[in-house]
Every structure is written in C-alpha cells, then in structure tokens.
A = this chain, B = another copy of it.
Amino acid sequence: MDPTALQDLFERVRRGELSSEQAVASLAGLGQAELGFARLDLERRERQGVPEVIYGPSKTEEQLIRLLETLAQAGQNVMVTRLTPEVGRRLVELRPSSHYDADSGLLYEESQPVARRTVAPVAIVTAGTGDIPVAREASRTLELLGFATDCLFDVGVAGIHRLFAVLERIQRAPAVIVVAGMEGALPSVVGGLVSAPIVAVPTSVGYGAAFGGATALMGMLTSCAAGVVVVNIDNGFGAAMAVARILDVKAGP
C-alpha cells in the first residue's frame, strides 16, 4: 500500500531481482501471518508506530494463545483488550511471559522494551467512580505505548468545585481524555476550560434513560464546546490510540 514500498518492489523487478509473479505474490502476502482464523499484521509497528492489538471478546483461548505465540516469534509487542479476570488469568498460566491487568482488562506481552515518551502526562479525567475501569483501559494502553498519564477520578459536573480543585493539573496536559456516563456533560465543561485536544469517552454507567451509554454518546457529540471529539461507548482503548496519533504528531520529525 505504501507507495515507497511499492516503488522498491518495482525497482527490484526492474533490476531482475524478482520476477513479476514473485512481485505480485510478495505484494499480496507482505508482512502477514495467515493463521486460518486470523491474518496477523507483523509489520504494524513500522506502519503505525504501535504494537499489534487484539480485540479479545470474540476469540477463543486457543486462538488467543496462537496469536500471542506468533507475534512473540516475530519479535513484536502485543496487547489483548477486554479480557475477564477469569480468561486473563488462564492465559497467563498458559503463557507466563504475558501479563494481565485486572483493572483494565488488558493482557500484554512485551518482546521489546517500550521507549518512554518525553511529553508531559496525558490527563485522564472521569466524571464518576463507575467510569474508572474505562479510564484504566485508556491509561494502561497509553503506558504500554510509552506515554505517562495523570488520572483524576470522580470530578463530575454536579459538584463543579471538584473539577476546579484539579483544573490546573488538567491544564498542564498535552491532551485530555474525559470519561463520563449518564448525561456525559463533563467534556463540555472541560472543553471550555482547556485548549488542548479533548477525546471524550462515553460510558455505559447509568440506567433507564442512559440507554447503555447512548445518551452520554449523543450528548458528547452535540457538545457546545467546539472541537471535542468522541469515540465509541466504553472505548478507553480507542481514546488512548487517538491520543497516541495526536501526540505522535507533536513528537514527529
């Protein structure tokens, strides 16, 4: 896909190092491991600057172990998201080189040391205590990518002085992740007080008219604070990945 890689390929064909059939085949299979049930991207780190990430819920334990093995053999770091403690612990037993973090539901295995980023800590703010697991998914993901985080929990808008008590810490951050369920109002308030990028994460905390997080989601999308962006309900991982994209801009050459 990458025009440079493609041009290299053409160049090697032109120099006779590769037949055109080999080039087509190589183009197709480039950097993939085909496991039958999955097609692993062994060069993702190069292309995206991040380790391979595996969405855990829809896979069997056998499939997960196979994926961990394959990526480890390719010398690549790996994260698996949204594992229950039960599954997480069973996987660690089967594969002691991996680590499971029950707070965030993440399992990870680091074949290579992760370089620490020099940027200031990312602020991760929650409206309530119930939003903490989603915030933990975000903070742990960022840490696995080399970023520091500053977690500020339970600062919701109904007692707004709680927000002001920590505002200075939020204002120091290069990017802010705001996690809130119920009416999801916190990103609007934070968005008016902070000029950094703000990624809002709705959560499924609440009942009745919270509709499993849909109300918080829609509320964040219609936020009157300009430039607030939103990810899927409970998607702490996605928010962290968005921040990584954002801060890599800053750290870029």
A residues contacting B by CB (< 8 A) are 1-3, 6-7, 9-11, 13-14, 16, 19-21, 23-24, 27-32, 34, 36-39, 41, 44, 47-50, 53, 55, 57-59, 63, 127-132, 153-162, 164-168, 171, 174-175, 182-185, 188-189, 191-193, 195-199, 202, 204-235, 237-238, 240-250, 252
Is there contact, CB below 8 Å, between A183 and B222?
Answer: yes
**What are the 9 A-B residue pairs with the smallest beta carbon separation, nearest first?**
A58-B130, A208-B233, A227-B241, A185-B185, A10-B20, A229-B229, A158-B192, A183-B219, A158-B225
Please, which residues of chain B bring their CB within 8 A of the CB of A53?
Answer: 226
A44 to B129: give the CA distance in the assembly, Å: 18
Q: Specify which of B1, B31, B210 is in contact with A160 (CB 8 Å cutoff).
A: B1
A182–B1 CB distance below 8 A: no
For A160, what are the chain B residues with a Cβ–Cβ distance below 8 Å? 1, 160, 189, 192-193
Q: Are A10 and B38 in contact (CB under 8 A)?
A: no
Q: Which residues on B sit within 8 Å (CB–CB) of A227? A: 238, 240-245
Cβ–Cβ < 8 Å partners of A191 in chain B: 158
The distance in angstroms between the C-alpha atoms of A247 and B227, with both chains bound, is 12
For residue A41, give the distance in angstroms from its CB to the closest CB of chain B.
Answer: 5
A52 to B233, CA, bound (A): 28
Can you report 20 residue pairs joining A to B where beta carbons are below 8 Å apart? A3-B167, A6-B24, A7-B20, A10-B23, A11-B20, A30-B161, A32-B162, A39-B155, A50-B226, A157-B185, A158-B224, A174-B249, A175-B249, A182-B222, A184-B219, A185-B188, A206-B222, A215-B221, A226-B241, A228-B242
- Which of B27, B31, B189, B232 touches A221 (beta carbons < 8 Å)? B232
> What is the copy number of this chain in the assembly?
8
Are B28 and A129 in touch, CB under 8 angstroms? no
**Given A164-B27, A230-B230, A242-B197, are A157 and B222 neighbors across the interface (CB < 8 Å)?**
no
- Nearest B residue to A244 via CB reads B227
A20 to B116, CA, bound (A): 37
Contact partner of A226 (CB less than 8 A), chosen from B10, B130, B175, B237, is B237
Q: Residues of B contacting A3 with CB < 8 Å? A: 24, 28, 167-168, 171
Which of these, B230, B233, B244, contacts A207 with CB under 8 Å?
B233
A1 touches B167 (CB 8 A): yes
Determine the chain B residues whose CB is within 8 A of the CB of A20 once the complex forms.
Answer: 7, 10-11, 13-14
